């Protein structure tokens, strides 16, 4: 998180726990917070008081009583969503997608900007312009924005803001956090795009309340974010969840990672297009045209998507077998063709998942890039809350 002089909202563990619980699961009464967090009612009140005074929490009108024989009705605590706003930017190889979110990660404004130059200096210039575009659109946002979240594919060290490797941008060892903070004057958090999207689902989406869940993304790459025991897992080397590089076919195509038969080499967007071109003899075929052919009954092209769905299902089953998540969300921009993927993914998953792991519910839905940018903003929100 950069600059380092910027501080988190709360430092005391009780205050952090109370604010996080209200932010992700509120409105909620003090009594219920005390039960959920294992604190006394007095401790909850003490923790909430400075957050109320600073305008981050407020009391709603009294609603129901807290239990049989209880006294006055409870006044639930809720987050003031417009107390602070956050900018999130998803960086792709050719475009920037930006959003402004409130404290509840609700999107208030969106903007896109093509990348003229994927080199670091060019991206930083365009990020600065995109941030200005977003903040100039609604004057009240600029006055209440202090933080910027950036997300991109690859190996990212969130703690230091260092992009170790981004395959689609061809970056290595880029101190993106420091440089973006210098360029924008904002406190910057940098995260892998799949992990950022997982953070948004964990705090504000389908993962709320789940002690363990997995988010699998389908697109140019095949990624996976993991939450175990309520915490996002990065692993010792920051690459936990890279199911795109699980080998599912020893005789399959070479992968850009240096391996062979990886899920991504079979089911990534570029891989799908390459296979469809080979099957049709059309070197200019694009992804949307391949989808249209498959939907139109072209058996050879449809077989490409079926094989891809099978590879993705194998990767998801590996996650279920190893981690045992409560639920798995499958999403990403590649699922614009979800009707071609749905059945083969589920069939392969059910075949490969071991025992009771096969009962893990799969939620398969497409996702626009604005949701990825919202993920970047969600990580920025986390950086405000968590030490």
For the domain 208-367, what is the CATH code?
Answer: 3.30.420.40
DSSP type of residue 159: T
Structure tokens at 206: 């389908």
Exposure string of 208-229, with b = 16+ CB inside 10 Å and e = fewer, is eeeebbbbbbbbbbbbbbbbee
Of 89, 216, 218, whose CA–CA distance to 152 is shortest? Answer: 89
Break the chain into its structural domains and give their ranges. Answer: 13-79, 83-199+371-385, 208-367
Of 135, 236, 119, whose CA–CA distance to 179 is shortest? Answer: 119
Exposure string of 25-39, with b = 16+ CB inside 10 Å and e = fewer, is ebbbbbbbbbeebeb
How many whole angstroms separate alpha carbon 282 and alpha carbon 303? 16
Q: Assess contact for 353 and 323: CB atoms under 8 A.
A: no
Q: What pLDDT does 238 receive?
A: 66
Matching CATH number, 13-79, of 1.10.10.10, 3.60.20.30, 3.20.20.70, 3.30.70.1230 = 1.10.10.10
DSSP type of residue 150: E
Q: What pLDDT does 100 receive?
A: 97
Q: Assess contact for 115 and 95: CB atoms under 8 A.
A: yes
- Cα torsion 7, 17, 241, 194: sign: negative
How many whole angstroms separate alpha carbon 248 and alpha carbon 198? 24
How many whole angstroms separate alpha carbon 151 and alpha carbon 379? 9
Q: What pLDDT does 245 receive?
A: 92
Q: What pLDDT does 84 receive?
A: 94
Residue by residue, pLDDT tens for the chain (387 residues) are 666 445 567 668 889 999 999 999 889 999 999 999 999 989 999 999 999 999 999 998 876 544 444 555 578 999 999 999 999 999 998 999 999 999 999 999 999 999 988 999 999 999 999 999 999 888 888 889 999 999 998 889 998 999 999 988 999 999 999 999 999 999 999 999 999 999 999 999 888 888 889 999 998 889 899 999 888 887 776 677 889 999 999 888 999 888 999 999 999 999 999 999 999 999 999 999 999 999 999 999 999 999 999 999 999 999 999 989 998 999 887 777 888 989 999 999 999 999 999 899 988 888 888 999 999 999 999 999 886
DSSP type of residue 13: H
CA gyration radius for the chain?
22
Task: Express each pLDDT in 40-98 by its tens digit.
Answer: 989 999 999 999 999 999 998 876 544 444 555 578 999 999 999 999 999 998 999 99
Domains 13-79 and 83-199+371-385 share a fold: no
Q: Which residues touch 343 (CB under 8 Å, ≥6 apart)?
A: 309
Task: Express each pLDDT in 83-113 by its tens digit.
Answer: 999 999 999 989 999 999 999 999 999 999 9
Structure tokens at 111: 């903007």
Q: What pLDDT does 110 receive?
A: 95
Q: Assess contact for 273 and 286: CB atoms under 8 A.
A: yes
End-to-end CA separation in angstroms for the chain: 10
- Cα torsion 40, 46, 51, 57: sign: positive
Q: Domain 83-199+371-385 belongs to what topology?
A: Nucleotidyltransferase; domain 5 (3.30.420)
How many whole angstroms separate alpha carbon 288 and alpha carbon 273? 9
Model pTM score: 0.86
């Amino acid at each position: 998180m950069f600059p380092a002089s910027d501080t988190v909202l709360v430092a005391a563990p009780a205050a952090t726990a109370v604010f996080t619980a209200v932010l992700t699961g509120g409105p909620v009464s003090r009594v219920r917070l005390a039960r959920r967090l294992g604190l006394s009612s007095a401790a909850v009140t003490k923790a909430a008081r400075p957050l109320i005074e600073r305008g981050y929490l407020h009391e709603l009108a009294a609603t129901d009583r807290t239990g049989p024989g209880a006294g006055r009705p409870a006044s639930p605590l809720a987050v003031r969503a417009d107390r602070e706003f956050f900018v999130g930017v998803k960086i792709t190889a050719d475009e920037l997608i930006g959003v402004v979110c409130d404290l509840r990660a609700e999107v208030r404004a969106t903007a896109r900007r093509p990348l003229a130059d994927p080199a670091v200096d060019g991206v930083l210039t365009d990020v600065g312009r995109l941030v200005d575009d977003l903040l100039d659109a609604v004057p009240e946002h600029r006055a209440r924005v202090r933080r910027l979240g950036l997300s991109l594919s690859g190996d990212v060290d969130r703690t230091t803001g260092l992009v170790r490797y981004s395959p689609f941008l061809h970056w290595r060892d880029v101190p993106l956090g420091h440089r973006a903070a210098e360029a924008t004057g904002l406190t910057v958090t940098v995260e892998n795009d799949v992990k950022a999207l997982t953070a948004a689902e964990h705090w504000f989406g389908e993962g709320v309340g789940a002690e363990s869940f997995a988010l699998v993304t389908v697109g140019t790459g095949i990624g996976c974010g993991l939450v175990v025991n309520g915490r996002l897992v990065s692993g010792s080397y920051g690459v936990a969840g890279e199911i795109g590089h699980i080998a599912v076919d020893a005789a399959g195509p070479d992968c850009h990672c240096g391996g062979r038969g990886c899920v991504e080499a079979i089911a990534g967007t570029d891989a799908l297009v390459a296979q469809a071109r080979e099957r049709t003899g059309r070197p200019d075929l694009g992804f949307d045209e391949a989808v249209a052919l498959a939907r139109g009954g072209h058996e050879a092209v449809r077989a490409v998507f079926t094989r891809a769905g099978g590879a993705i299902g194998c990767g998801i089953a590996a996650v279920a077998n190893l981690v045992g998540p409560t639920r798995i969300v499958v999403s990403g921009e590649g699922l614009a063709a979800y009707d071609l993927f749905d059945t083969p993914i589920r069939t392969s998953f059910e075949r490969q998942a071991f025992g009771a792991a096969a009962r893990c519910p799969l939620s398969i839905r497409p996702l626009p890039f604005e949701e990825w940018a919202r993920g970047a903003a969600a990580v920025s929100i986390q950086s405000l809350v968590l030490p």
